[in-house]
Structure 1
Amino acid sequence: MSFWSNVWLWIRFQVNAILHSGFPCFFWVRPTWSIDEIPDQEGKVVLITGGNSGTGYATALALYNAGATVYLACRDLTRAKEAAEDIKKGGERGIWGVTYPSEELDKAGGNKKGRVEIIKLDLTDLASVEKCAEEFLNKEKKLDLLFANAGVMATQEGQYTKQGYTLQFGTNVLGHHRLITLLLPLLLSSPPSCPSRVILTSSLGHLTAPKGGVNFKSVVRDPSDTGSGRGKYELDKWTEYGQSKWGNIALARYLEDTYGKDGRLISVAVHPGVVATNLANHLPLVDLIAEWVPWLRHLFARDPSTGALNQLYAATLPLPDAWFLNGEYVVPYNTVGMCRPDLWNKKRIEEVWNWCDEQGKKSA
């Protein structure tokens, strides 16, 4: 590729990333698809990590209303139970709290034919991930949709998972990789006419990942680290977040390349946009804005139901159109976007998957 071709590619990539960032200021970039287009999901079994809040909750509500059996895989079972009850009541959780349908609308609806269950999952502990997978396999004989939705963002340096991985990479990538791996045989058992789908939540933040996407040395706690501050090889929190989101796209790409080409599985990475959830509440000013001037959030972020549209679109788009999303990175809204060019490096994608595999086997 010539120098000018590379320059043009870089310009296209930057413009695409900005326009499809999901910021409300780009008001002309609007959803082209709605939950009203979700086909009947009766008989479908769905597992959503982090399904008790934010985009996970909005996804669970939409699929429950469409008739699916939805499992909320959450660390806090009390909050998961509260979310399950809200879902059964048709409650929508937005910037302003939970709103329920009117009594007349609720009686007239009659579409609440799904089922909602809760299951314990702590992505910061691979033993918990294995227990969650075991419990799910004992309860269900199929899995149509797996949403790797839960995650953390820009958490303070020096925090680690139970097995000693940096909190962001361990939660966002390693925990989900282990869960996908353990449930993969069940996912692949679906008939070719209706393959299962894995939807991984990524972010525009993957642009901040280091060269090569993932610095393996940086995500493992060094023996000399005291745990009271940033680790010896740990990256700053935004670069760490970036490599975890880069890793999510890498997992989707690996699954597509390994199982998608022969029609056994559909995997898609999505950027939900800038969404008003509790993901950023620990960041400076965000908590103050939420408490004192919550209306400002509308200027900077979308509500969770809008943020859930991309993953719902990727999960329910009918065949054969859904095959065109396989291995892709879907951005606001309902559009295949451009991810970092190094995510087309097949060898690097395999290295990331295999490294995660090795870490998972250590904990088994």
Structure 2
Amino acid sequence: MRNELDIIYSVGVKKMRLPVNGMSEEYPRTPIMKRKNYIPFGLTRLTNPLPGLRAASFCALLFSLWPVVSQSARADSIEYAVTTQNHLGTVDLQTGAFTDLGVVVGIAGGETGDLARRPEGLIYGMDSQERLVLVNPTTLTTSLVGYTGNAIFALAFRPDGTLFGLGSGGGLYTIDQTNGNATFIANVTGVSVASYYDLRFDSAGNCYFLNASENLFSLNVTNGQASPIGSIGYVSYNLTYDSGTLYGLTVGGKIISINTTTGAGTVVSTESQGSVYPIVAAAPGGNVVGAPTLSIQSTNANFVTLSWVAPTNGFTLQHNQDLRTTNWTDLTHSVSSTNSFNWVIISPALSQDFFRLISN
């Protein structure tokens, strides 16, 4: 499988060619004066990116071209996953193949309560001391976000980036991704919150919930009301959602697809590491190595704002005026944080400038 990047670009009237790594791709072009409030759309692909772009997102500013680049999602349903022995790896949902990356360091008590991946790419986890942490799958380390004050065993991101958690007593919470504070919404009603359970959102924002009863429920995240959908037919530790399909990871090490209308589960594959150490938590996007998406927006004629999700650890903001070279240098501008995003305002070079977040 080639390492590919998606390039989001504006549709315009002229075209230009931008050489990258010995190749050139053709991009639409739009005069900047005619698109002051730029909104990117449309897709093309750039293969075999420059060395060092693994685990990095970058965006470029030319006078008339503003592509925002991030690693693309793969169609073969690769997920990050944690086993009962706290081994972090990737699992192919279609084949069950588990690639062990190693034991995560920094999870208090050696237990990962759950994993959740933000739409921009950051991976969050809960440890056994009620703390929200960021998980770095490259270094197998964690960084503390904050203390939630609740024993939360299920984490899930809604498509709009809101993080939800479900506590051991059935309490439903939203969780602040900058400090870990958990805000109570309601107690889950209509279903027993047993010894293990999970929740997951689909791409439309519908929330699904399971407990130890082998049944699938829909969950109203405004009032905590759970409504039965149907029997899965398998006891599952975990739910995950990928490429339009809801999956369950069972106690016996099976990976099942779940019909969200009837609840019925169908075996897709068997986890390769076996049922002795089954997967207990999974998060979409195992091909994206924790990289946040770097976005760019016009501030006025002479300045632009670069922004990415906060908190983000282990990445450096760099720029380069010519992608045919390796002359990437660190930007030393002061970084601000507002509403869970880091941002910096810069005045780019007069000709062209390219920016990236690269893992340290």
More strand by share: 2
More helix by share: 1
TM-score relative to the length of structure 1 = 0.27
TM-score relative to the length of structure 2 = 0.27
Structure with the greater relative contact order (CA < 8 A, sep ≥ 6): 1 or 2? 1
Say which one has the larger Rg.
2
